[in-house]
Copies of this chain bind each other. A is one copy, B any other.
């Protein structure tokens, strides 16, 4: 029914393609990423406050769909949505000592309303533990209230001292933060595993992002956490990008905010709190990076701003009428907002390049030849190939593609980590692997505080970081690849954004 087509259509070239990426992704990743952001119109960096950017429709439409998928998953697992205020009094931040130390260097402070100077500064939330937990102290009374599972969709603010980078690190970004309260530490750890399962379901299975789960070493924990877990996605330049992290918070939080519950034994106890923070604008960056190619973006079907575009090859009534007819039929299947006819004044070749840059999953190239033959010529961006189908098969074809498109992207993406992790036993080997764009795995003296010195050495000598221990992996005993002392852990080392 569907056959690969090697028609003359593929010879239609863009007249003067102002839109193509000028470098190859695998040769100059950094420039490739910058060009994609500009040429696919994802964000405009010319806003006149440093480190802030304007997200444009093509990224916002996709990120709204990503929010939808993630929120549905969280609600299905019993999280309830809240909207908390953006402003947090300074005194709230001070209630947990390591938290305030970790975040205050990065806080934007509101000090004035109209002409009135405030007696207490207000923080633009860098994260909302200290807003949520004071309310938890009024909402939670009994063990029957637990687990208490919340989330909010919010924008957060960090006065970054590191270099900012669009989508990956800006001074304002868009995320979801969950905050959950549990009876016991065991329940809290179950929540950590559930969060990681959510990351797998949504980021991997849905958005097609491959990653490795790590427990972070002591020196790289979230400010105020007993344990921190995170998913690292890999960039083509060999650097990893931290995606959702999830934290088992220290008991300082419930104590600092007086969050207590009466247990079924009648005793008042402090609960355990976990939080999880998938940053949608950062995950979007990984979608661009993992799936994009030298022609531009490739969006997964489920989050593409547009799923099908129809390009009329000739601008006559017969072709346009057929295009409208097809659009109507497709809209009945996938919704009117997911299909569009490109009626712009560009040449056919320019349109092809334009929609490949934009990463639209399916493109129907429609000319009189196809209409007369009752055939459709369809370009699919997952496989970058053209297929010919009978016109009457269109709706079935779209159903089929909707099912298999994302799975194809996942399959391609999963190869990224193939052969990338290499075992090393000393700094020299480690340096070689890292410089080749790989991830080094080795024995390591300790991921507690006493290992920090070795981690600093790796950072200084190789410019790479100890990402942590891999979840579910057994420790091996062996000499630390850095200091040569007895190693207690097996860690993974990579460069990171």
Inter-chain CA distance A111–B84, complex, in Å, is 22
CB distance B135 to A44 under 8 Å? Answer: yes
Taking the nearest CB of chain B, how far is it from the CB of A104, in angstroms?
A: 7
A109 touches B105 (CB 8 A): no
Query: Can you name the residue of chain B whose Cβ is closest to the Cβ of A92?
Result: B48
| Residues of B with C-beta under 8 A to A48 | 89, 92, 134
Residue of B nearest to A47 (CB): B85
| A81 contact from B61, B72, B88, Cβ within 8 A | B61
Interface digits, A100-114 against B, CB 8 Å rule (1 contact, 0 not)? 000011111111111
Structural contact, A52 and B85, CB atoms closer than 8 A: yes
What's the minimum C-beta distance from A150 to chain B, rounded to whole angstroms?
A: 8
On chain B, the residues within 8 Å of A63 by CB distance are: 83
Contact assessment for A47 and B135 in the assembled complex, using a CB-CB cutoff below 8 Å: yes
A155: interface (CB < 8 Å): yes
- Could you give, for residues 40-76 of chain A, a 1 whenever the CB lies within 8 Å of some chain B CB and a 0 otherwise? 0000101111001111110011011000000010011
Residues of B within 8 A of A272 (CB): none
How many copies of the polypeptide does the oligomer hold?
2
Chain B residues with Cβ below 8 Å from A82 are: 54-57, 60
**Closest residue of B by beta carbon distance from A159:** B113
- A120 and chain B: residue at smallest CB distance: B49
List B contacts of A320 (CB < 8 A).
Answer: none
> Does A174 belong to the interface (CB within 8 Å)?
yes
- Interface size counted on chain A using CB atoms at 8 A: 58
Q: Is there contact, CB below 8 Å, between A80 and B53?
A: no
B84 near A54 with CB under 8 A, answer: yes
The residue of chain B having its C-beta at the shortest distance from the C-beta of A107 within the complex is B114
Q: Is residue A336 within 8 Å, beta carbon to beta carbon, of the partner chain?
A: yes
Interface of A is mostly: mixed
Shortest beta-carbon distance from A57 to chain B in Å: 4
A116 within 8 Å of B (CB atoms): yes
Complex Cα spacing A113 to B171, Å: 10
The answer to whether the Cβ of A396 comes within 8 Å of any Cβ in the partner chain is no
A134 — nearest CB in chain B belongs to which residue?
Answer: B48
A105 interface neighbour in B111, B115, B121, B122, Cβ under 8 Å: B115
Pairwise interchain contact B80-A57, C-beta atoms closer than 8 A: yes
Q: Does A161 contact B (CB under 8 A)?
A: yes
Provide the residues of chain B in CB contact with A107, threshold 8 Å. 113-114
The verdict on A419 contacting chain B, using a C-beta distance below 8 Å, is: no
Q: Any chain B CB within 8 A of the CB of A124?
A: yes
Q: Is A373 an interface residue (CB 8 A)?
A: no
Give Cα distance in the complex from A47 to B135, angstroms: 7
Q: How far is the CA of A83 from the CA of B110 in the complex (A)?
A: 21
A121 surroundings in chain B (CB, below 8 A): 112
Q: Does A157 interact with chain B (Cβ within 8 Å)?
A: yes
Write out the residue numbers on chain B whose beta carbons fall within 8 Å of the beta carbon of A87. 49, 52, 108, 172
Whether A163 is near chain B, meaning CB under 8 Å from some CB there, is: no
Chain B's nearest CB lies how many Å from the CB of A128? Answer: 11
Q: Is the beta-carbon distance between B75 and A54 smaller than 8 angstroms? A: no
